[in-house]
C-alpha cells in the first residue's frame, strides 16, 4: 500500500511538473515580454504549481507573522527538504510576491533541470570563478530591470537533516550587500523530508513556518541564528 502511495505521489508531481514546464516556457521564451512581467508570470505559475502539490499531499501551512509589504528583499530560509520550496512558494502566493530562487548548477543539469531553468531560477556554480562573476552580474541586472523583485535563498547551501542551523555559505550575505537588500529570516519548523515521505495525509497536516523581522545584511548568519533562538524561546 505504501509503495502504491509513494508511486502515486511521484507520478502526480512529475506529470504536474511537465505541465508547468510548458507553462513556464510561454513566459521564459517570449520575446515581447519585459523582464518584470515575465518574472511576475513565472512567480505566479510556480506558486500555482506549489499550491496544487500541497493540496494533493493534504498539507497546510501556518505562519506566525506576515511577510513585509515592501519588495527587494532577500528571504533567507533553512533547508531540509524538497518541500521547502513548495511551502515557501505557497506563502509567497498569499502575499502575491514576485521573485526567484538561487539554485546550484547541478540542479539545472539533473533530470528535472528544465523545471528550474524555465521557471526563472538563477543558477550558481560555486566551483567556477568566471561563472560566479556572471552570476552576480545577472542578479544585479535582474534587480535593475524588475523593481518589485525578491530573492529566495538557502544560505546553508544544501539540505541539513540535523537539528538547528548549519553554518552558512558566504553567498547570501554577499548578494544582499552587493544589491543593498534587506533580509527576512525564515525558519521552517519541521523536518519536511519525513513529512514528505508520510504524505499524502488522510487528515490535513500543518507545517509551521516562522517569519522573522527584517534584518540588515551585515552579520547575516549571526542575525539569523539570533532570530531562530528568539523563535524557539517563544514557541517552546
137-182 residue pLDDT tens:
999 999 999 999 999 999 988 777 767 788 888 889 999 999 999 9
Cβ-proximal residues to 138 (8 Å cutoff; 6+ apart), any chain: 122
Which residue range forms the structural domain that includes residue 204? Answer: 2-235
Q: Is 125:105 a contact under the CB 8 Å cutoff?
A: yes
Q: What angle do CA 233, 77, 75 make, to 5 degrees?
A: 110
| Mean pLDDT to the nearest integer, 10-18 | 92
Give the pairing of strands 182-188 and 205-211.
antiparallel
72: CATH: 3.40.1130
Task: Say yes or no to pLDDT of 104 above 90.
Answer: no
Please provide residue 6's backbone torsions phi and psi, each rounded to the nearest 5 degrees.
Answer: -65, -40
pTM of the shown model: 0.92
In angstroms, what CA-CA distances link 99 with 18, 193, 195, 219? 21, 24, 26, 23
- CA nearest to 79, candidates 213, 192, 221, 199: 192
More confident position, 153 or 106: 153
Q: Quick one: cell of 116?
A: 528550474
If one compares 228 and 211, the residue with the highest pLDDT of the two is: 211
Q: What is the mean pLDDT of the chain?
A: 89
Strands (E), 105-148: 122-124
Determine the Cα–Cα distance for residues 36 and 60; give it in Å rounded to an integer: 30
More confident residue, 126 or 58: 58
The whole-number pLDDT of residue 88 equals 97
Closest CA to 132 of 113, 155, 152, 104: 104
Distance (Å, whole) CA 151 – CA 172: 10
Q: How many Å separate Cα 127 from the centre of its chain?
A: 22
Please state, in angstroms and rounded to a whole number, the distance separating the CA atoms of residues 57 and 227: 30
Q: How many domains does the chain contain in total?
A: 1
Amino acid at each position: 500500500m505504501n509503495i502504491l502511495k509513494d508511486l502515486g505521489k511521484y507520478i502526480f508531481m512529475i506529470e504536474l511538473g511537465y505541465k508547468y514546464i510548458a507553462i513556464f516556457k510561454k513566459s521564459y521564451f517570449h520575446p515581447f515580454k519585459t523582464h518584470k512581467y515575465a518574472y511576475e508570470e513565472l512567480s505566479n505559475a510556480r506558486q500555482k504549481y506549489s499550491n496544487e502539490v500541497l493540496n494533493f499531499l493534504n498539507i497546510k501551512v501556518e505562519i506566525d507573522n506576515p511577510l513585509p509589504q515592501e519588495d527587494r528583499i532577500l528571504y533567507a530560509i533553512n533547508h531540509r527538504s524538497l518541500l521547502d520550496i513548495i511551502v515557501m512558494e505557497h506563502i509567497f502566493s498569499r502575499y502575491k510576491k514576485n521573485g526567484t530562487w538561487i539554485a546550484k548548477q547541478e540542479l539545472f543539469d539533473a533530470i528535472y533541470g528544465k523545471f528550474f531553468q524555465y521557471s526563472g531560477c538563477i543558477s550558481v556554480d560555486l566551483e567556477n570563478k568566471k561563472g560566479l562573476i556572471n552570476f552576480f552580474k545577472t542578479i544585479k541586472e535582474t534587480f535593475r530591470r524588475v523593481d518589485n523583485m525578491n530573492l529566495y535563498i538557502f544560505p546553508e547551501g544544501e539540505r541539513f537533516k540535523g537539528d538547528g542551523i548549519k553554518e552558512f555559505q558566504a553567498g547570501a550575505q554577499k548578494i544582499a550587500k552587493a544589491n543593498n537588500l534587506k533580509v527576512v529570516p525564515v525558519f521552517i519548523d519541521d523536518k519536511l523530508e519525513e513529512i514528505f515521505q508520510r504524505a499524502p495525509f488522510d487528515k490535513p497536516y500543518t507545517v509551521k513556518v516562522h517569519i522573522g523581522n527584517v534584518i540588515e545584511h551585515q552579520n547575516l548568519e549571526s542575525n539569523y541564528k539570533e532570530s531562530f533562538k528568539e523563535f524557539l524561546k517563544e514557541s517552546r
